[in-house]
Structure 1
Amino acid sequence: MNAPSVPPSPALQTAPEVARPAELELWSNRRLVHPLSRTLAARLASTWVTPNMVSVAGAAMAAVGAAAYTLLPRPWGALLGLLSHYAWHVLDGADGDLARRTGRSSPSGELVDGICDYAGRTVLYVALGADGAAQFGGWVWLLAGVTGVSRIVQANFYETVRRQYRRWVYGTAWIRQTLAAGPPGGRGPAGALGRLFLAVSTRVTPDSTVLDVAMEHAAAAGSTSRQAARAACQAELAPVVRRAAILSTNAETVAVFLSMLAGGPIFLFVYVAVVLNAAYAGLYAGQRRRLARTATRLTPG
């Protein structure tokens, strides 16, 4: 398991929130998605719209994009699908911005955001599978299923290593820590979903327990030790997180568009199943080495 074996220390809990570290930002996010997300969140902050509503709207835009890709003729269907999916990205960024602006950030909200992301991706790959099966036969469903599961693993890896990085370098809490005292909703459906989320997260990324513990010890040793530990994590782990951007949803959006523009989803399925799975395997191994190396640097003696 990747969960820390000791409770989060006050030194880490009170560190300032850093939503989007500049050193990890993708060009498309920095120049397009996040400025639009911030503008939208600022407009919505004084309204009755909640962050969860924005998350659901994002999933709806993903469904619109899936319909455009598969039901409208090319190239216009592909273009509308691309625009719809970028609207999804904008809404996906705006829900978190809105939560921070209005003081409504919570583990349950983060969980709703994740569920909506997976729902949007599921609708997309079911639609693409149906389109591919219509072109090449029912066997494409198997390839579509492999692709969909692969994307869940790949995207979860990317998001997890990003959030781990933010936790270790900037002290930003995320659902793995905030659920440590008990998942939102206790033993109800939300709690079960929280446990499922953590179960997937801990299996698609290398075990980080040793580094979690080392960072907690550094935080307890004082501000100088804590800052040195964060600097070591930043130097060691930022390269892997940047390289993992090939697994991001931004890159996926471009790949879907190019595949559908070229003639159908089969190109995307092969790319994800072969190229991105190979990239994921390499990134997983690299992250495991870097976690062990960083923990060794931070462990006295």
Structure 2
Amino acid sequence: MDSARPVEIEPLSNRHFVHPAAAALLPPAIRLGLHPNTVSVAGLLLGLLAGLAYTRWEDPRFATLGFLLMIGWHILDGLDGKLARATGKTSPFGRFLDGIADYACFVSVYCALAFSQPQPWAAFALAVVAGVAHALQSQFYEGERATYIRRIRGIFHAEARTTAGGGPEKLYNRLEALLANRTRPFDRALATATEEERAAMLAGWQPQAARTLRRMALISANGRTLAIWVAAMLGYPVAYWIWEIVCLSLLALAGARALRQAERR
């Protein structure tokens, strides 16, 4: 398991398939001298091809092809980070490129589904609303995961992000800080506590926080990829956007409440 991703907060699909597949590809990627950014671009290409496949979602074969291409993107998305850490080629631009690839994949699929509907512009409007919900939910989920990781590593303040993509990167970081990646009262309490007090506080907080993050796995990119395919196979891809706007938003709100309760306790 990737040391940057504690196993206790990882979705089952990452633990049992995506991360092992990425780990298996790491040695040949190193031997070939691949740059992590090259892997990110390859993942972006798979995401765009997934969108192309989903233009024919009515055919289960093309819907399944789109699903498999998105799985391939997930694997490369895991590989680029592993490769960057293994080769010492981590960079702010690499993080930004990775984030762009993530969003571009879903934008490609959303547009494909929207413009293949009987009323494409109405579907596109719904897709835009769902996309905004997606962005906010993802920023929150990934920010809370980052908070969990830094706390168990003994870092009790939000880590500043360097900018590499100009305005878009600054906006990305600002949203992340607003929704999740920030220093909270619990961090300040941990920072000023004695070593024994801190150990007791973390022991009380960590199990509940990990449990909550596991329950929020439907918000992860993996959960969305599966939900899109299921909706397409059922013949009603618009249901995915309704699921995203309503159900995943409620799940994010419930998760936020549970995480803050864990800190207060």
TM-score, shorter chain, exceeding 0.5: yes
Give, in whole Å, the separation in 1 of the partners of 2:156 and 2:64. 37
Match of 1:8 in 2: none
Give runs of aligned pairs for residues 258-269 of structure 1, distance below 5 A: 258-269=230-241
Give the corresponding residue for 1:81: 66
TM-score when normalising by structure 2:
0.89
| 1:164 to 2:147 alignment | yes
Higher relative contact order (CA 8 A, sep 6+): 1
> Which of 198, 201, 218 pairs up with 2:176?
201
CA distance in 2, matches of 1:54, 1:116: 10
CA distance in 2, matches of 1:288, 1:173: 15
Tell me what 2:219 maps to: 247
- Residues 59-105 of structure 1: CA deviation (Å, up to 9, x unaligned): 21111111111136511011101110100100010011001111122
Task: Please list, as runs of the form range in 1=range in 2, the aligned pairs for 1:99-110 lying within 5 A after superposition.
Answer: 99-110=84-95
How many pairs does the alignment contain? 264
For 1:119 and 1:250, locate their aligned partners in 2 and report how far apart those are by CA, in whole Å.
15
Structure 1 letter corresponding to 2:247:
V
Does the CA contact (< 8 Å) of 1:170 and 1:230 recur in 2?
Answer: no
State the alpha-carbon separation in 1 of the partners of residues 116 and 154 from structure 2: 44
**Alpha-carbon contact 1:18-1:170 (below 8 Å) kept:** no
Shift of 1:112: 1.9
Displacement of 1:225: 5.3
Tell me the residue number matched to 1:235: 207
Identity over the aligned pairs, expressed in percent?
33
Q: What is the CA-CA distance between 1:248 and the residue it aligns to?
A: 0.8
Amino acid at match of 1:93: G
Task: Give the counterpart of 2:159 among 177, 188, 192.
Answer: 177
What code does the residue aligned with 2:159 have?
Q
Detail structure 1 runs of 4+ shifted over 6 Å in the superposition. none
Residue number in structure 2 paired with 1:212: 187
Aligned equivalent of 1:124, options 106, 109, 118: 109
- Return the offset for 1:236: 3.5
Structure 2 Cα separation of the partners of residues 216 and 47 of structure 1: 44
SS at match of 1:199: helix
Q: 8 Å contact 1:125–1:144 — kept in the other structure?
A: yes
2: distance between equivalents of 1:72 and 1:173? 46
State the TM-score, normalized to the length of structure 1: 0.79
CA distance in 1, matches of 2:142, 2:226: 18
Q: What displacement does 1:178 show?
A: 4.5
The CA RMSD measured in Å over matched residues stands at 2.5
Q: CA–CA distance in 2 between the matches of 1:286 and 1:92?
A: 29
Contact in 2 for aligned 1:61/1:84 (Cα 8 Å)? yes
* Structure-2 separation of matches of 1:146 and 1:38: 36
User: Aligned ranges for residues 6-155 of structure 1 at < 5 Å?
Assistant: 18-71=3-56, 73-132=58-117, 135-155=118-138
Please report how far the alpha carbon of residue 208 of structure 1 lies from its aligned counterpart in structure 2 after TM superposition.
4.2
| d(CA) in 2 for partners of 1:148, 1:71 | 21
Structure 2: gaps spanning 5 or more residues: none
User: How big is the shift at 1:272?
Assistant: 1.2
Q: Which amino acid is 1:275 matched to?
A: C
In the superposition, relative to structure 1, how do residues 275 and 65 fare at CA in structure 2: closer, same or farther (>3 Å)? same
Change in 2 beyond 3 A, CA 1:173/1:39: farther
Distance 2:209 2:55 in 1: 39
* AA matched with 1:28: S
Tell me the distance in 1 between the aligned counterparts of 2:40 and 2:156.
20
Q: Partners in 2 of 1:270 and 1:115 — Cα distance?
A: 24
1:281 aligns with 2:256: no
